[in-house]
Amino acid sequence: MRLFILGLGYSARHFVRRHGDRFSHVAGTVRDPAQRNDLAGFEAHPFSGSRPSREMVQQVRDADVLLVSIPPGSTGDPAIAAFGDVLQGSRRKVVYLSTIGVYGDHGGAWVDESTPPQATLDRTRMRIAAEQAWTDAARGDAAILRLAGIYGPGRNALATLRAGTARRIIKPGQVFNRIHVDDIASAIMAAVHHPNGGVWNVCDDEPAPPQDVIAYAAKLMGVAPPPEEAFETAEMSAMARSFYASSARVSNAKLKRELGVTLACPTYRHGLDALWRAGEGR
């Protein structure tokens, strides 16, 4: 199989490291040409939303699997705008990395893939439109993976505590799901081999308040957690504050049932324990 990746973000990069050898050819786009030699065996092409080169168009046309991790911007999805027409006339598996943020606020109640998305924010509307556009472009053979809060090597509560940037923002009733990047890689591979398209939540078993994650990481490190800050008065960017506007417990039952994924890190504690053993935060 030939794999082409649109947007070599954190999750896609980790997928290549773990599963790239299962493909006969791996190529994709990067925003910064300096990233070109970061992964062994990865053929990188600079792309920032402008008109793609003929070589990129041909590689997308030849790909058996297209992994899309470029988020939509204020004017829509730049990848579907650049490559959507290329997908016409032939079938391939498209795996689109979306977000559980499309569900919006449910006051901490449980949601699953049958829960209608809430287009209350501009970025949510753009994301829902992108999901539909890729589903249409792939003629139904698109796996929409809605990812929870991503963490993993170099991107976790242990690292932010060590860097002195961790905060314990307290908003009563607030819960999030998370997902370790290893489990995202497993979900992508399972979606590649699944015979049909669909929508799957890629998240852990235990949605939890964000301050609990910081406190557990501090316990592993043997340090005092940062002081609690009330959400109402905490200094935060508008973007950071907007993530607290949604509180929901997201089910991963369909991921396990239909894609057969067994999570390596079913809770944030499993994930942080593994990262601590690997030397994170030291």
Tens digits of residue pLDDT in 204-228: 999 999 999 999 999 999 999 999 9
Average pLDDT over residues 6-25: 95
Average pLDDT over residues 63-77: 93
- Of 80-94, 222-236, 248-262, minimum mean pLDDT range: 80-94
Average pLDDT over residues 33-39: 67
Q: Taking 70 as the threshold, does the pLDDT of residue 36 lie above it?
A: no
Average pLDDT over residues 126-141: 92
pTM reported for the whole predicted model: 0.96
Distances (CA, A) of 263 to 92, 129, 155, 269: 27, 29, 19, 13
Three-state secondary structure readout of 149-217: EEEECCECHHHHHHHCCCCEEECCCCCECEEEHHHHHHHHHHHHHCCCCEEEEECCCCCECHHHHHHHH
- Banded pLDDT at 139 (limits 50, 70, 90): confident
What integer pLDDT is reported at residue 239 of this predicted model? Answer: 86
- Banded pLDDT at 40 (limits 50, 70, 90): confident
Closest CA to 10 of 181, 186, 183: 181
